[in-house]
Structures are given as C-alpha cells and as structure tokens.
A and B are shown apart, each in its own frame.
Chain A
Amino acid sequence: MYAQMVETGTKRLKTLEEMSPEERDFQEKVDAETKIEAKNWMPDGYRKTLIRQISQHAHSEIVGMLPEGNWVTRAPTLKRKLQLMAKIQDEAGHGLYLYSAMETLGADRDEEIQKLHDGKAKYSSIFNYPTLNWADMGAVGWLVDGAAIVNQVVLQRTSYGPYSRAMVRICKEESFHQRQGYQILLDMMREGTQEQKDMVQDAINRLWWPALMMFGPHDDESPNSQQSMVWKIKRKSNDELRQMFIDQTIPQLEFLGCTVPDPDLKWNEERGHYDFGEINWKEFYDVLKGDGPCNRERVATRKKAIDEGAWVREAAVAYAAKQKQRAEKAA
C-alpha cells in the first residue's frame, strides 16, 4: 500500500443517530455508493484524512522514482533503458494525477510537498530500501508495483470521485510496470549465467519482506482503519490485501524457479490461502519513523531537485509575465 497508517482523527465511530443532518446525508450517500465530489459537503475529518492519504500516495510515487532513477544510466541495454525511463515518467505522472486530486480538496501542492521535505508527511516505507543490483529493477517492478496494484485496484472504488478517477487512470498504466519487471527477472532466470540467477534470488530475498510491509500493520481494532472503511476511503483491510498479494505472487515466484526468505510460507488447503511468517514490525516502524537504510538520502535528493530547479520555475514565470506585457502593449 502506498499510504500506510493514515490518521483520521477519530477516537470512536459515530452512529447515524449521533450525526448531524449533514453528516447523516453524507454517510447515506457513501453507503449508497454515490461518489463524493469536490463541491459536495463532507465532514472535516473525511477531507483531512483524504488529503493525508492522497498526498502520502502522491509523495510515494514521486519518491518512488529515485530507486529506479539510480539505474537509468546503468541499464544493460538501450531497450531496458527506454522501458525504465517510460516507467519513471509514468510515476511522475501518477504523482501529478494524485496531487491534482488532492488539490480539489482545497490543499495546496507546494505546502504538502514542503511537509514531505520537513519530514512531517510520510511516503511508502518501501522506497527507503536501496536498489543494489540490476535484478532489483525487475523485483521492484514485479513485487513493489505488484503490491501497489493490489491496493490500487481496490481504491478505484474509493468514495471520493477525483481520487477514484485518478486510480482508474493509474491502474491502466501500472500493469505495464509489473510485467516489465517480471520479464527482467524471467530473462535473467532463463538465459542468465549462474551469477545473474543469484542476483535475482538476492533481490527477492531483500525485497520480499519490505514488499509485504507496504500493506501496513495488522488490522486491529484501530479507529483509524474502521473510520476509513466506513467512509469507504479504504475498501479492504491491510491483512486482506496482503493475503491477496501473496496468493497471486507465489505461483509467479515458483514459475521463476525462485524462493522467498520465509520458512513458514506454505499452502493451506483448508483456508485456500498461503500461510506465512510474521513480519518484523520493529523494522517497519523504524523505517516509517525515518530510520530506514535510505530515508535521509531520499528526502535530501527531493529537496535538492526542488532547490536546483527553482531558477527554471522563476524563469518560466518571468517569461510568462513578459509575454503578457508584450501582448498588452501590442493590443
């Protein structure tokens, strides 16, 4: 999941009777699956939660370009380089669709980006892991984009119209990402040297658990999770989504001829699902708090990009002002 642990400001869920007439109207609309649009009345908490979730999601797309950007100059062939650049460009696009959806709620893009740079806004924990070898580009596409798809397919039905429409657009583009990643790994496993095959297994070993952490902590009785479900901002629980991802990924893993670093992973005939081991939650919370392998580097890189691009933005404004002035003079 690209948004993990989104605060809703809710301590306890309200019943329909406890709601104001406006709130009740709103909740009944959500219950009836009528999409909420920017100009509709909405509870303050709904608006704030959406801004938090969508901005976190957008930041994830933008920061998500960095681990891959690292490999553009190192891609093994021109074809792979072009594919990688197309994927990275898509991610910039996804970030922008999402910022655009977020702005319909009255949030300011610059302010939200500033929060990211100040360490006040989160992005997905997964992008705080390094991409150490070429097989990581395959594993990121297959596992990370794969996990994102599982989450995003469900979010297409989210209750807020602009967010839902951004998700539809993103999902259409995302399956190219996953396929190109899997194909990188498939080629290495089929035609590669032993050393290259070992790289694939090494990439999976390092990225498997962080990919599972993308779905966020266990569903407990947390009022945030419950509130998001009632508002239909979230449509499925973290554990449900994680299970879906594992169930669909393991057959693909076996086809590659690889394994995951989980001795407890086993098909459970009775449940009709794979059982799996416990996630290292301390690692998850450490990364989320800012102490992952690459947190500092990622934020510093984003800041540098914004700072060093300042003159371009200023020049664009100056140019626009000058053109306008000239047009006025000519008129």
Chain B
Amino acid sequence: MSEWRLYEVFVRSKHGLNHKHVGSVHAADNEMAMENARDLYTRRSEGVSIWVVPSETITASASDEKEVLFDPSEDKVYRHASFYKLPDEVGHM
C-alpha cells in the first residue's frame, strides 16, 4: 500500500464557506482519493464540496520561520482600523 499516494482532504461544509482541511487519505489515483475522502469525511452530510490534493505538492511554511514570516506585520499597527481614532461626533464609520 506504500505505493498509494497520500492526499490531503479539504471540505466545504456549506455553500458560501471556505474549504477547510479535515485530514488525509491514501489512494492509488485522484479518483479513488475523491471516493475515499467522500466515504471517510462526509458520512453525515458534513460537506457540499471536496478537494483532494497530493500531500507532496503542498508547500508549507516551516514552524521556525514564524518570526521571519509573520513578525513584520506585528509593528504595522496602522493597518488596522482601530489605529485611527475618530471624534465621537463622527459616529460609526
């Protein structure tokens, strides 16, 4: 079974929502990956759409890159609406 590829499974739970990662399956090809994902992750109408993606094709950020990747956004507070104080008289904006 080691010849079977590993696929990551993403499920859209309702129309209008994003696909969300739910787990993985093994399969010999894409079609079987879809069938296995359907049987494994949507037995109780958990989804309206499924994506299966070969795990090896995913590029992920490494955990030790956290500072390099995400820290710069920490000091850009002016990117948040809450940074701009408005007088009460202006009301809701």
Binding site for B on A (CB under 8 A): 37, 39-41, 89-90, 93, 96-97, 100-101, 103, 108-110, 165-166, 169, 173, 313, 316-317, 319-320, 323-324
Contact call A97/B2, Cβ cutoff below 8 A: no
Nearest Cβ on chain A to B39's Cβ, whole angstroms? 8
Residues in B whose Cβ lies below 8 Å from that of A317: 3-4, 28
- Say if the beta carbon of B60 comes within 8 Å of chain A: yes
**Which residues of A have CB within 8 Å of B4?**
313, 316-317
A313 touches B25 (CB 8 A): no
CB distance from A18 to the nearest CB of B (A): 23
A39 touches B40 (CB 8 A): no
For residues 23 through 77 of chain B, which have their beta carbon under 8 Å from a beta carbon of chain A?
23-26, 28-29, 32, 39-40, 43-44, 60, 62-64
Q: Known: A39-B60, A39-B62, A41-B63. Contact between A96 and B28, CB under 8 A?
A: no
Q: How far is the CA of A41 from the CA of B28 in the complex (A)?
A: 31
CB neighbours of A316 from chain B (8 A): 4, 28-29, 32
B93 to chain A, nearest CB (A): 36
Judge if B86 is at the interface, Cβ distance under 8 Å: no
Chain A residues touching B, majority SS: helix
**Complex interface: chain A residues within 8 A of B62 (CB):** 39
Docked CA distance A110–B43 (Å): 25
Residue interface mask B1-24, A partner, CB < 8 A = 1: 111101000000000000000111
Q: How many A-B residue pairs have CB under 8 A?
A: 49
| Identity of the chain B residue whose Cβ is nearest the Cβ of A309 in the assembled complex | B1
Whether A110 and B2, one on each chain, are in contact in the complex, defined by CB atoms closer than 8 angstroms, is: yes
Residue of B whose beta carbon sits closest to that of A323: B29
**Complex alpha-carbon distance, A97 and B9, angstroms:** 12
Known: A37-B63, A100-B23. A173 touches B44 (CB 8 A): yes
Classify chain B's interface size.
20 to 34
* CB within 8 Å for A108 and B2 given contacts A93-B43, A96-B40: yes
Which chain B positions have C-beta within 8 A of A166?
23
A39-B60, A41-B63, A320-B29 known; A103-B23 Cβ under 8 A? no
27 sample A-B contacts, Cβ–Cβ < 8 Å, listed by A number = A39-B60, A39-B62, A40-B63, A41-B63, A90-B43, A93-B39, A93-B43, A97-B40, A100-B23, A100-B24, A100-B25, A103-B6, A103-B24, A108-B2, A110-B2, A166-B23, A169-B22, A173-B44, A313-B4, A313-B28, A316-B29, A316-B32, A317-B3, A319-B28, A319-B29, A320-B28, A323-B29
Least CB distance from A302 to B in Å reads 14
In the assembled complex, the Cα of A163 lies from the Cα of B62 at a distance in Å of 20
* Chain A: minimal CB distance from B11 (Å): 11
CB distance from B62 to the nearest CB of A (A): 6
Docked CA distance A111–B23 (Å): 20
- Chain B positions within 8 Å of A37 at CB level: 63
Min CB distance B84 to A, Å, is: 32
Q: Given A97-B40, A110-B1, 4 other A-B contacts at CB below 8 A?
A: A39-B63, A316-B32, A320-B32, A323-B29
Query: Are A89 and B43 neighbours in the complex by a CB distance under 8 Å?
Result: yes
- Across the two chains, which residue of chain B brings its CB closest to A89? B43
Taking the closest CB of chain A, its distance from the CB of B52, in whole angstroms, is: 13
Contacts of A39 in B (CB 8 A): 60, 62-63
Q: Cα distance A323–B29 when bound, in Å?
A: 9
In the complex, A68 Cα to B26 Cα: how many Å? 26
Measured in the bound complex, the distance between the Cα atoms of B1 and A131 in whole Å is: 32
Q: How far is the CA of A37 from the CA of B60 in the complex (A)?
A: 12
CB neighbours of A90 from chain B (8 A): 43
- Cα distance A112–B51 when bound, in Å? 28
Q: How far is the CA of A112 from the CA of B14 in the complex (A)?
A: 36
